[in-house]
Structure 1
Amino acid sequence: MNAPKILGIAAIVLMVSCTQKDKNPEVNPKTDPMAIQTPMDTVAVDTAKTSDNFENSLDWQGTYEAVVPCADCPGIKTVVTLNKDRTFRISEEYLERKGISEEKGTFEWDAGGSVITLKGKNTHYKYKVGENTITQLDMSGKPIDGPNKKLYVFTKK
């Protein structure tokens, strides 16, 4: 044999012998009695409850206030109180008119944990929850747009 062939074969043998072997072969903890199981192997985790969202990461309980636009009056002074037990109270006073309407009910969080829906006898509002604010949404749950959109942002008292 000539020298280039010997060197070529030696290089191939060297490369094959230097490849990294799998030092951590996959172990199936259900079939391998020697495998160590951790709680994460055996317990399903509900990520919706453990991941951060507005429901579990913000201090949303409290009373919020805004004067929302009104078609035939200067505005509607609205006060919304959200309680930890998912109940609410809403008070609406049409400015320059007599009388206040009040209602109590429950609210639900959306799947993402950022929007609440008030459910009362006559109240069916949706609000996006923020840091010390709630923002009223339209009936389909979309942000209210236009020149008065800032008037739909309620601030925490």
Structure 2
Amino acid sequence: MKKLVIASAVLLAGCSQLPHFGADQPTTLSAPTKPATPAIPLPAEVEDVNEVANSATTEALATDFEHIFIDSDMTFEGVLPCADCPGITYHINLYRDGRFEARQEYLERGQVELVSGAWLLERRTLHLVNQQVNLPSFHFRSNRQLVMTDLSGRPIISSDAYQLNRLDALKKLDTRQPMLGLYRLQNNQATFTKCQTGESLPVANTQNHLPMMRLYQQDSRFNNKAVIASLVGRKGPDQHGTDTLFIDKFEQFWPNATCPNQFAMKNLQGIVWRAEKIADRYVPHSLNVRLIFEKDKLYGFSGCNNFNASYQQRANTFAVQQLASTRKFCADASTIEQQFTEKLQQADRAEVNADKLQLFRNNQVIMELIPAVN
């Protein structure tokens, strides 16, 4: 019995974790130590087959998340709808320094507008800011596609006709434009003053300029005088950085014409008129259907051939005599040319209304012409 009691006491003393304190120290119990939690092995990392390794290429591309970043130079192109023409061709360059350049070309009219300014990006909405020209805003549907927004700022996704697509590489903006202005040659140095803006530029002596120079020198009427000319050209810096006109295509001179003044146009003479509409159909600007009225004669270009004729205008009557024309055939212009020459000879009244010349037949407008400023 004594052995059993002693053995129990020894066992209890060995299991006790109570520390021994002196009489002047408080007695404190420590919390029992928790056993260590065994480590749970983590599964091996699974490789994401969709993950793209970081590189200079991926860093340069815009992200496709909530925000779009223009951190590389981009070019977008496409054709957007137009209210009164087949469409407007857009070429937009976005530069990562905050600038943009845009080219708008109205199809069939051939009207070209070059605009530059600064872009603003609000999440996915792109605003092109220019003080003189209002441009549409766009929504980044992805980093490869712009979609035009409506008046409320919402992307128009009901039709693919409102989208511009990004090219694989930046494309230089085509700055060529049809121009009409005063050309003058002195000492083999030519200048050209645009009728549309009044800007005067020296003309580069390039191969495309030589035919124009020769024709000017051979015509005794010019003799170092300024004469209206129509051409296709572009403005750019020369080797010294000076703004210069580079001629891509010379069209013709228009003696006795002046730059049109829309606030002082009352008579049809002395203005280079461009055919804008025949009946209700727009005339493609690229055909350059134009004419000028002098005192009792008219002449011009009908899209393929040069022509001239006599005409009479008295009070409210107008009549064009039989046209004399060259006889070239141009497949892309023959239909328009035939319609133009027929309507011109059918007209019985001509009126300058605001900035348009209207030709009538039995009180119905059969042709509308506008001053050619480009």
Say yes or no: TM over 0.5. Answer: yes
| Greater than 6 Å deviation, 4+ residue runs | none
Q: Tell me, what secondary structure is at the counterpart of 1:55?
A: coil
Alignment equivalent of 1:125, drawn from 109, 132, 136: 136
Say whether residues 1:55 and 2:65 are aligned partners: no
Give the deviation of 1:108 after TM superposition.
0.9
Contact 1:125 1:139 in 2 (8 A): no
Secondary structure of 2:69's aligned partner: helix
Task: Answer 1 or 2: higher relative contact order, Cα 8 Å, separation at least 6.
Answer: 1
Q: Which residue matches 1:73?
A: 85
2:174 paired with 1:156: no
| 1:100 alignment partner, one of 100, 112, 115 | 112
CA contact (8 A) 2:79 2:87 kept: yes
1:115 and 2:125 aligned: yes
Specify the code of the residue in structure 2 equivalent to 1:54. I
TM-score normalised by length of structure 2: 0.25
Q: In 1, distance between residues paired with 2:66 and 2:160?
A: 27
Q: Partners in 1 of 2:137 and 2:98 — Cα distance?
A: 14
Equivalent of residue 150 in structure 2, options 110, 125, 138: 138
Residue number in structure 1 paired with 2:285: none
Deviations along 1:35-65, one digit per CA (max 9) or x if unpaired, are: xxxxxxxxxxxxxxxx972126xx6631101
1:114-157 deviation line (CA, Å, top 9, x unaligned): 111111121342111222111111233112254xx211110012
Which has more helix, going by share of residues?
Answer: 1
Distance 1:69 1:60, change over 3 A: farther
Can you give the 5+ residue segments of structure 2 that lack an aligned partner in the other structure? 1-30, 32-64, 168-374
Task: Quote the Cα distance in structure 1 between the aligned partners of 2:94 and 2:151.
Answer: 19
TM (normalized to structure 1)? Answer: 0.57
Q: 2:164 and 2:128 mapped to 1: Cα distance?
A: 15
CA contact (8 A) 1:103 1:123 kept: no
Other structure's SS at 2:83 match: coil
**Does structure 1 conserve the Cα–Cα contact (< 8 Å) formed by 2:105 and 2:113?**
yes
On the 8 A contact 1:60/1:132 being kept in 2, the answer is no
- After TM superposition, the structure 1 = structure 2 runs for residues 5-84 of structure 1, keeping only pairs within 5 Å, are 53-55=67-69, 61-84=73-96
C-alpha contact (below 8 Å) 1:126/1:139 kept by paired residues: no
CA gap 1:60/1:75 in 2 versus in 1, 3 angstroms? farther
CA shift in 2, pair 1:55/1:115, >3 Å: same
Name which one, 1 or 2, has greater alpha-carbon Rg.
Answer: 2
Give, in whole Å, the separation in 2 of the partners of 1:132 and 1:143: 15
What is the aligned-residue RMSD (CA, Å)?
A: 2.4
User: What is the distance in 2 between the residues matched to 1:98 and 1:124?
Assistant: 18
Structure 1 gaps of 5+ residues are 1-16, 18-50
Aligned to 1:91: 103
